[in-house]
Structure 1
Amino acid sequence: MDCKEGADQVDKTVAVMEKHRSESQQICRDLCKDGGDGSKLGPTFQLSRVMLPDDANIMGNVHGGIILKMIEEAGSIVGTRHCNTQNGDRCLAALVRVEKTEFLSPVFIGEVVHVSAVITYTSQHSLEVQVKVIAENILTGEKKLANKAALWYVPCSLQNVDKITEVPPIEYASPEQEEEGRKRYESQKIERLETKARLEEAMPPPPNPEDTPKERYTVGFSQSSLIHLVGPSDCTLDDFVYGGVTMKLMDEVAGIVAARHCNTNIVTASVDAINFHRKIKKGCVVTVTGRLTFVSNRSMEIEVLVDADPLVEKEKGKYRAVSAFFTFISLDKENKPLNVPPLKIEGEEEQKRFEEGKARYLQNKAKRLAEKERQQ
């Protein structure tokens, strides 16, 4: 190859890279320009990152926790920026709830993930951020919608973390858009209070499997816990844990439970509302526990609970910090769904949780069918 041919090849490569970069930027602009009805929404933020081997399981599927962490990062940045546009205390947007989120398409190593966040509603002391995740194959240019989520934040003062500051209002395209946002706000507020009211005490650690061997396909066989010491890299400027860090740990534990139950490749299918009940501070030891609650033919519901135990302020005692339900599916080597082994129930408590999980499963199934009919 002579110099001219080499220069031409370089020019072609640069042109392709510029084309992909331009398309990626356009993806994010398109995602944030409207709310699905053509109406302009509030402040926006976009981030993009290529998925690396550390982000995925041994089959190449990117962990759901990685996507959840990126979603929370984008939401926290746009929320914090917006809440600091007015005079007064500087603040950080703290995550208090993630609405049910569906993992619509699997993401693989080498794909570029574009996360776009937009503020869609503000109350006096909280704001809603809606996020869309697009996965792009940079070799073919193919793009797919991987995830959609809605998150709720409250602005916490940097001077006094227990003080919730006021949220600057946003402009709505119409009164109807504002009213829809208000309804979502009232609904999530009620659900958060109901969830908090039925919180259990901090869970005891699961027994050592070697001491009390469990039968396969029981709740006890797959129940798993992860213990993590909260360090500086896990925390915000005011020394409290990022919501995305917690969600990543929760997804990891839920994945271990699912893998132990079916002994196959597993992926996150959806997450019911994640409620952040209390803050977790630097220096706490967090115990993330996951247990199966319900199994259908093709899916597993796993309850994940996060308990925090302060190392220094021991007098405060161990407390429940976060709770959620994760749904996983089992896949074969071609990423096609497999049947899940049935769950063997032991005792009244497990039966009660199973029936509650079944009710959630049927409710979510009915919602999906209704949404599908509406789109048709």
Structure 2
Amino acid sequence: MEENSKKIDTYLKKITGKKPDDYYTKIIPLEDLRPGDILAFSGEGEESLITKLILCFTNSWVSHGALFYQHGPVEALTDAGSTGIQGHKVTSNPEDRVAYVSRLIKTSKIGNKSSFYSDKEMAPVLAAAKGYVEQDLPYPYADLVFLALILLYKDHSQAGIKQSIIIALLRCLAAELKKLLDDKYRHNYTMVCSSLVYQCYLDASKKNRKFKLKLTKDADLSCRTSKKGLLNQNRRKANTLLDLYAEHAAEYDFKTEAFHQAVAPKEPVANLEDLAKEIVESDRSNRVMMLKGNALSSAIENLLKTLMEVLGFTFTSIKDMIKNAREMQAMFVTPNDLCFNIENVKKIGKVHLNRADENLPHEQLTDFSKI
């Protein structure tokens, strides 16, 4: 485990995505944060193997998103983590993890000056966050689900990872998620950390459309839903695993039994440590195009079915399952999107934050719906 972690840390130096420190240059104190500020936490130095794989697959330096919630009665943020959507007390010391802070712009920029919403005006966003907290939905293995979603929804053709390794990782994640089903764990919560932040602003935009976060053309997902719920690919052609699977399934009129029947007897499922080592040590310098095939489609379908069941989706057919996956894809936002790919925010700076592991009692979160 230790040897593999060191190799992954070495690979992080090869990440070519934007470095937040080049764009968020000002160090700010905790007291300068405002309710509703968007936080994208650095993934550097994190020990979680899955977190490091997330950084590799997103080619970014941030791995977690959160919403700063309040300064009193205790300073707190809200996020989606291993204990669900909850509030957590935050403190600040120089050795703490770095969070990159952006803030919604109220009006257009004039020169270098921007106007921001007051705490009272931000109430709809914060009320949405508290509403999710009060649902008390459990969410173990948040990073595992996040990694699965990244594999299904992002274009990996530039990542230089061989298809055989992708298939092995899909099978590994499906096996890990099935353990949750064996423990009779199911729920209807579908948001990961960064998607929660986006959703809170989206909920608030129903009262004031200016609250909607506007994703740029460089957002990690190349397609979004239109008003009719259909996916738009008006920016660039997507080449995600979900796209490949959906196209392949359509060719078989969604009778996908053939995918599994044509696949050779399965090898033992590899573990994450071994796969991480193989991913890190492989030659990732060349573009690798994913090709439709029964083995790949079988692995995608198994992971997708398991993931949908874990997240509480019900479906009656393969076509219905794909439709549900598409709807969830439209709301999937990465921490890198929060950090770099929102048009109507200003990059404020970076703050050192320690997020307490314990959930903050609900009564210690301000009820902004009454403000």
TM-score (ref. length: structure 2) = 0.25
TM-score (norm 1): 0.25
Write 1 or 2 for the structure with the bigger share of strand: 1
| Greater helix fraction, Structure 1 or Structure 2 | 2
Structure number with greater CO (CA < 8 Å, separation at least 6) is 2
